Structure 1
Amino acid sequence: MKVKFYATLRDLTGKKEIEIKGVKTVKELLDTLDKMFPGIKKELIDEDGDVNGMILVNGHNIVHLKLWDTELKEEDVVHIFPPAGGG
């Protein structure tokens, strides 16, 4: 599957997009990404285990799907956005 990073996550990963194989859920994807890019899970999951930022699977927010248990397929495209800042 394609995983696309945005904003500060591009700085953390050094990449705009990567290909990942063999993960079946968003949780597995984040575990795999955290091994590749230590600290990325900390950026995306808050202390309560909620999404900090936004993760889209084929354009659908995982908050409206099965959250961390959202199933993934090899042909999926996952977009990962960091928390929005500002004020």
Structure 2
Amino acid sequence: MPKVKVRLYTILREAAGTREVEVEASTVSEALTRLLERFGSRLKGKLLDEETGRLRPFYNILVNGRRISYPREAQLALKQGDILDIFPPVGGG
């Protein structure tokens, strides 16, 4: 199974207590599952909608710098050394 790097930003980084983590996953969906298995409730409430249990729609997920459409591309195959970036929404004014 490929090892991929998952990089977390802002509130996700704070919740996990780390900026990046390596997981073994063959798809984007599996990488998110591994992430939740590792960090449990610290990330679950931030990443998943409480009612549906699905990834909150406002997160941006990039694979090797390319934004993907989740959940449409949830089964996108990952290769050894791929990098997933998960960005929460950023507000400003």
TM-score > 0.5 by shorter chain? yes
Task: Select the structure that is richer in helix.
Answer: 1
Q: Counterpart in 2 of 1:69?
A: 75
Q: How far did 1:85 drift?
A: 3.7
Relative to 1, partners in 2 of residues 1:41 and 1:24: Cα closer, same or farther, differing over 3 Å? farther
* Percent identity over paired residues: 39
Higher-strand-fraction structure: 2
Give the corresponding residue for 2:36: 34
User: Residue type matched to 1:54 in 2?
Assistant: N
Aligned to 2:64: 58
The TM-score, its normalising length taken from structure 1, stands at 0.78
Q: Number of aligned pairs? A: 86
Change (3 A) 1:45 1:79: same
What CA deviation, in whole Å up to 9, does each residue of 1:32-73 have, x standing for no partner?
Answer: 111111243543344494633111000111218x52111111
User: Is the alpha carbon distance of 1:9 and 1:82 closer, same or farther for their aligned partners in structure 2, counting shifts above 3 Å?
Assistant: same
CA drift at 1:81: 1.0
Which of these residues, 80, 83, 87, is aligned with residue 89 of structure 2? 83
TM-align CA RMSD: 2.5
2:23–2:35 Cα contact (<8 Å) kept: no
Q: 1:25 aligns with which of 21, 27, 37?
A: 27
1:4 is aligned to 7
